Structure 1
């Protein structure tokens, strides 16, 4: 008998819209390589973000600013090859879209053509609207990002919670509506008061994805190195660490070293 391959239903921007409408929460995680992307996709994650956080957790930089467009494309291509189901979003890195909308479009096209990803993400509100419109107008889905925007760290000077003051909160609400009107399919809300995130989420017809923004967003995102306990130094209030891989990996490698030193590995059954 010939086996019939089961059709895999892909997550699309339309799927996310339906999830918001039905009240189903959206799960999102970062990934930067083939192997983890394959695991996360198989585990049922809805969205993989190829984040510019690779600058921190992969390359060891203090900020997200140094990573280049070509480096983002390299990581995105690896993730794409590991995924059958989930939606892949790629961060436009610092310097690849801020100058003008033409550069933003060129950067987005380069990501889509060379990596095979499904969409891009950029930071900013009113100041990024022209770029959003330009990219969306070319048929490329765009995810927005408001609140704490790590690419602007030197402007803010700190990673504290954003939009506590009324003026900044009002701007964030206006920016969210502007991003929706410009064609964004979703918006990340990072490190803002939960009540504000709830208000914004209710005001929009597109999904919100929270990180440090409370439980009333339409979905949540975490950096894989934080969620899995690979990075043990970063422990903000919003992080729930599901594993302690740093400790488990250390224990395993120590045992491997000991087995090699004692000539226990490889044994006869592990030899040809």
Structure 2
């Protein structure tokens, strides 16, 4: 019997140096896509998938993330007094339930694997999800919800994957493709940034994981890997020896908001998906493009 996934870990301790100077005083996770921060999209994806406990691994200068997911009494009172009930309802709708959010701190930037390990006491002896906050997904059914469907049939560990061009495998963590399972396939290998021509497939891990709790004890003793950091992929390779891994090809669009081009593309895509914004925004885009043609 597979154990239900109730908890999700969000590693949000990164410095966001690629977005300086914007991220000098603001966490990169709080940069806005249209009218909400990047982290809000990822949180909502997890909540849609049935997550009940949201665990944020933070660092210095990240307290604004905690404030974002807290009640702002003065703001609520001001909106109510001004009769802005639609805005008030929107704010209330994005709030987590009381007691459902926890925070822990990664004191040093020792890698993604170390950030996940910092959440070990909150995760406990339960399988859990990991959502990388740089990656936001757009689909009628969220990426983690799609993964939950696969997990219900397979158990074990799940990673979301997408396909890249064969010549681009050196940019990603690549998995080997084994036997098919419902809406996915068994993972036969995991290779970090293989050179073109040496990769076991062109399916790359796209920032969503469901992991069994044994990965925490592996991370506790994991030696530093690429870049001198504790890599989650290295721990997953060890876990793979004891526990099956499956991959779920994500049906939807992914935007890497850790890169400027991906962040800008996300703003365009999500703006065009909004009926209240799309008509005027399309006209503005056409005007900009025509003037640069």
Q: What TM-score comes out, normalization by structure 1 length?
A: 0.30
Question: If each structure's helix is expressed as a fraction of its own residues, which one has the higher value?
Answer: 1
